[in-house]
């Protein structure tokens, strides 16, 4: 009986302890946190864009003639080296046969003259003519072989058939596009920026884009190039490459919104929200949030300037990318354990909390 009472008492103490822990957890002060950044890094540039294939190629025959057969349709996936179309080869087969016969005759004559020259029975001029004639017919024979081989059209890259311009039976000229292929590599994004933003290109930091199809995701981008010449609308073309777009079904032709995070320089002041600073005994302080411990540290800073956009400039006491408490500073004290609010959630519309 005594053992039973001890077990009941232990269980009650455990429940009391759990309740105490739950109460302690629920009593944590919630605060909003943010990152101290340089002035330029406080804002983004945003531009509408469109996804593009990394490679977009028009494929054409190098010879002229009627198309005998088309092996692909729009939307087909092709591998590099796969046959796309076949031109009627009969004219080029005839040409090769005639050139081969001519080559055999000139080669035989050249070998005979070379033998006579070695024996001293012909002139050096005749020998040179025979040698040059053989070189010319050899080049002509190789060209005929190449032309016959060029009656077959192969895919130059892995990708998809975007459009098919001609059908079997049509006669096409050399260089006329037969199909267009876009590569199956990493998808790229194209935007056009204004001249004023082009002058800030050295301060471009990171890039990402969003899609209406994936409202909760940000897709990181890497810069491919920025054109140095403005177009007719005085805009500068920027090309960016998606790092993981191919895995999520993003294809060329989709509209997107591209964001450019600006990077600050060492000469620019640290900018934080004015709600992050508070006064104590005529001195300005902020709270540094320690992510590992979940506690805050009170730190003195030097306030340089109060701006009209809800931010203030700090000249001393803060480093770039340090995490600070941006709301709730009057409800906490140095060393207190707090809980950071998520930046934005579906229930925190507009990030007002």
Asked if 294 and 340 sit in the same domain, the reply is: yes
Q: Evaluate if residue 10 carries a pLDDT over 60.
A: no
Whichever domain contains 330, its CATH number is 2.40.420.20
Query: How many domains is the chain built from?
Result: 4
Asked if 212 and 176 sit in the same domain, the reply is: no
pLDDT, tens digit, 9 for 90 and up, residues 275-307: 999 999 889 999 999 988 999 999 999 988 888
Give the pLDDT band (50/70/90) at residue 16. very low
> What pLDDT, on the 0 to 100 scale, is given for residue 164?
95
- Residue 310, phi then psi, degrees to nearest 5: 90, 5
More confident residue, 271 or 225: 225
Q: Evaluate if residue 35 carries a pLDDT over 90.
A: no
As a whole number, mean pLDDT of residues 119-126 equals 90
> What pLDDT, on the 0 to 100 scale, is given for residue 44?
75
Residue 33 lies in a domain: yes
Polymer length of the chain: 353
Residue 22 lies in a domain: no
DSSP assignment letter at 112: H
Give the pLDDT band (50/70/90) at residue 261. confident
Whichever domain contains 206, its CATH number is 2.40.30.170
Asked if 79 and 111 sit in the same domain, the reply is: no
Asked if 236 and 338 sit in the same domain, the reply is: no
Asked if 229 and 287 sit in the same domain, the reply is: no
| Domain residue limits at 338 | 29-38+268-351
Q: Is 109 helix (H, G, I), strand (E, B) or coil?
A: helix
> What pLDDT, on the 0 to 100 scale, is given for residue 148?
96
Q: Is the pTM of this model over 0.85?
A: no
Full strand arrangement of the beta sheet holding 171-172: 152-154, 83-87, 65-70, 171-172
> What pLDDT, on the 0 to 100 scale, is given for residue 288?
94
> What pLDDT, on the 0 to 100 scale, is given for residue 268?
72
Q: What stretch of H or E contains 167?
A: none
**Opening angle at CA 338, ends 330 and 272, nearest 5:** 55
85, exposed or middle or buried, with CB in 10 Å at 0-12, 13-18, 19+?
buried
Asked if 164 and 140 sit in the same domain, the reply is: no
Asked if 338 and 224 sit in the same domain, the reply is: no
Rg (C-alpha) for the chain, rounded Å, is 37
Asked if 207 and 253 sit in the same domain, the reply is: yes
As a whole number, mean pLDDT of residues 254-258 equals 93
Residue 80 lies in a domain: yes
DSSP assignment letter at 111: H
- In this structure, are residues 332 and 342 in contact, taking their beta carbons and an 8 Å threshold? no
Asked if 282 and 339 sit in the same domain, the reply is: yes
Compute the CA torsion angle 325, 329, 333, 334 (nearest 10 deg). Answer: 40
Asked if 51 and 189 sit in the same domain, the reply is: yes
**Bridge partners for 65 per DSSP:** 172
- In this structure, are residues 320 and 271 in contact, taking their beta carbons and an 8 Å threshold? no
Residue 21 lies in a domain: no
Of 98, 125, 150, the last residue of a domain is 150
Percent with pLDDT over 70 in the chain: 85
| Residue 107 burial (CB count, 10 A) | 16
Asked if 69 and 103 sit in the same domain, the reply is: no
Look at phi and psi of residue 93 and say left if phi exceeds 0, alpha if psi is from -120 to 50, else beta: alpha
**Residue written as tokens 């001029």?**
125
Residue 3 lies in a domain: no
> What pLDDT, on the 0 to 100 scale, is given for residue 247?
56
Residue 115 lies in a domain: yes
């Amino acid at each position: 009986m005594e053992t039973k009472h001890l077990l009941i008492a232990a269980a009650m103490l455990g429940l009391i302890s759990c309740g105490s822990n739950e109460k302690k957890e629920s009593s944590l002060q919630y605060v909003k946190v943010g990152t101290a950044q340089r002035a330029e890094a406080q804002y983004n540039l945003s531009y509408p864009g469109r996804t593009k294939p990394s490679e977009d190629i028009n494929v054409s025959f190098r010879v002229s003639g009627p198309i005998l057969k088309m092996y692909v349709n729009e939307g087909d996936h092709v591998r590099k080296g796969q046959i796309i179309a076949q031109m009627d080869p009969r004219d080029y087969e005839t040409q090769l046969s005639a050139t081969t016969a001519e080559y055999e005759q000139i080669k035989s004559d050249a070998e005979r003259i070379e033998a006579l020259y070695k024996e001293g029975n012909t002139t050096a001029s005749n020998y040179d003519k025979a040698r040059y004639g053989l070189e010319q017919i050899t080049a002509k024979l190789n060209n005929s072989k190449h032309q016959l081989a060029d009656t077959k059209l192969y895919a130059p890259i892995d990708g998809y058939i975007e459009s098919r311009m001609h059908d079997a039976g049509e006669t096409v000229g050399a260089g006329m596009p037969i199909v267009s292929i876009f590569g199956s590599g990493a998808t790229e994004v194209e935007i056009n920026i204004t001249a004023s933003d082009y002058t800030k290109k050295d301060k471009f930091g990171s890039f990402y884009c969003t899609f209406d199809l994936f409202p909760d995701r940000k897709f990181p981008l890497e810069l491919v190039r920025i054109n140095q010449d403005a177009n007719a609308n005085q805009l500068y073309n920027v090309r960016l490459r998606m790092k993981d777009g191919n895995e999520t079904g993003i294809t060329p032709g989709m509209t997107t919104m591209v964001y450019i995070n600006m990077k600050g320089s060492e000469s620019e002041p640290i900018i934080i929200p004015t709600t992050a600073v508070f006064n104590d005994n005529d001195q300005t302080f902020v709270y540094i949030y320690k992510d590992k411990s979940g506690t805050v540290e009170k730190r003195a800073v030097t306030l340089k300037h109060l701006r009209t956009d809800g931010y203030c400039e700090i000249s001393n006491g803060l480093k770039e990318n340090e995490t600070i408490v941006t709301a709730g500073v009057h409800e906490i004290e140095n060393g207190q354990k707090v809980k950071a609010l998520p930046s934005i959630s579906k229930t925190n519309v507009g990030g007002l909390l």
